[in-house]
Structure 1
């Protein structure tokens, strides 16, 4: 490989790290010896997971990379050559498994599809005491001129500075370690809605008494109603973007509702009424505020907000 693709640029990865505190033997996480064993108001069968406790800090890594490298490439370089203790999750590395969802510069997305050049942002200047500079327009203009002069000088060096990329775990989920979030709550919600085809189980037969192998054939129009929804990879990006789910309110979440909508729209499925009943709850479609933030970063191109509106309409039209 040659040309501009081989030119290295400098980037700083600012990683929000977390190391959980070891569990105490004989005590559940977060339990207090003074806590009451029962509540006069009753107890939930599924209490909300406690937030893990541990040490939090921000660590910076400076790398020389190619602009087209992904943030996942950068983390792998750090893991292999700089800091083997850095923890993050990934699998396929091609945007198909959804296991490497994090927040980059505060935006939920996948590490393996995020190019360094697209996400690096200029570093905010700080003073000698470590505080960001704030002042009048003249001071800001002076800073801009100084930054421009610095950039011009840096252009002559072998490695230009792209800026900073901030990384943090996917919002809305408990943090296990560093950039690894526990997405089990989302997967549990999806499982509750039975994300599999439910047919009547009766085999159709022909006039000759043979099994009718064409029983479940669909027209292209029937397939089009749910085909896009089968592309969901349960990465959690939509839930991390949702202000209701990530905000901690009781909400089953867009990922689970998308899974339900996929089978509600399938002409072969016979459990439509039961599926609509399951999501017609206060923490189901009623909790959706139609913000449509869930659509913006979907790595599979699903218009999650529109699908949410459609499933809400189906529930209300019953």
Structure 2
């Protein structure tokens, strides 16, 4: 009986080790140092600055099957080859959004990315810079199939190469772990929770109205899809305008704002629209719609951006 062929995949991982913090910074700095720059920014701006450290690309070749996910491959490397490799994950099923990275320059989740869909032959792999952004014009074809590309009589067949980098638009913390706090801070600024009028509804008999917040299906449909957002940062990493700071509030924050603006139970819709009707809010959105690509929860983020911009301008 013929011996079964073994398939492998090669991962090119953009790694990063931050430089050790200087002693005076760890202690809080000199009491005579300037606390903020005369050109703006200050402590929050320094926290968003890309940290310095060692950067390099490391290659790993491991046995793998086409149906394996990229997360499966990283876990194999972590457990058998290199325990120093750092990446973030939690549920492993595309529900938590913690494992967002750039795969071949495209932001997506490690746990939902199958090797068969992302592995490419070396000549077709896009060039990815140190910040995870893909360079165009390098023969990139996202639909390139790698199965069967090797000789049929080979004992070991390569499924191809996958390029991994931290999520673009955010400062890296270590290897594939990006600091998404800027995005979460922007979401928190927009009070991402239901704000009702605070009046306790009662029935004609003076009893508490247990059906106060019932909605018609049409009312629920206006925001139900938006409530699926898991704040993974994929849309932020895809947005060419978002820079991980205050220059643009970002599509994720606008999705969360839109979710409550469209909720018939919320009484702060006008205040919410005022909060995003700023130069770094809806005015900064350029309607590129790159944010719609690869949303793991199926949200057409670009369309939602267009809808919320139109609603703010028409109010």
Report what 2:182 is aligned to: 185
Measured in 2, the distance between the counterparts of 1:247 and 1:194 equals 19
Report what 1:142 is aligned to: none
Q: Does 1:204 align with 2:201?
A: yes
Q: What stretches of structure 1 of length at least 5 have no aligned partner? A: 1-5, 126-149
Report what 1:107 is aligned to: 106
Q: Does 1:226 align with 2:223?
A: yes
Report what 2:278 is aligned to: 281
Is contact 1:15–1:58 with CA below 8 Å preserved after alignment?
yes
Measured in 1, the distance between the counterparts of 2:295 and 2:39 equals 40
Is contact 1:8–1:67 with CA below 8 Å preserved after alignment?
no
Q: CA deviation at 1:72?
A: 0.3
Q: CA deviation at 1:52?
A: 0.7
Q: Which residue of 264, 272, 276 maps to 2:269?
A: 272
Any idea what SS the aligned residue of 1:78 has?
helix
Report what 2:241 is aligned to: 244
Is contact 1:226–1:265 with CA below 8 Å preserved after alignment?
yes
Total equivalences in the alignment: 288
Provide the TM-score with structure 2 as the length reference: 0.86
Is contact 2:16–2:53 with CA below 8 Å preserved after alignment?
yes
**What stretches of structure 1 move > 3 A for 4+ residues in a row?**
31-46, 246-249
Report what 2:13 is aligned to: 15
Measured in 1, the distance between the counterparts of 2:314 and 2:42 equals 31
- What is the root-mean-square deviation of aligned Cα atoms in Å? 2.5
Report what 1:137 is aligned to: none
Larger Rg: 1
Q: CA deviation at 1:151?
A: 5.4
Q: Does 1:298 align with 2:295?
A: yes
Report what 1:119 is aligned to: 118
Any idea what SS the aligned residue of 2:187 has?
helix
Q: CA deviation at 1:37?
A: 5.3
Cα 1:124–1:189 change in 2 (3 A) is: same
Measured in 1, the distance between the counterparts of 2:254 and 2:120 equals 35
Measured in 2, the distance between the counterparts of 1:195 and 1:122 equals 44
Report which stretch shifted further, 247-256 or 280-289. Answer: 247-256
Is contact 1:103–1:168 with CA below 8 Å preserved after alignment?
yes
Is contact 1:7–1:66 with CA below 8 Å preserved after alignment?
no
Any idea what SS the aligned residue of 1:18 has?
strand
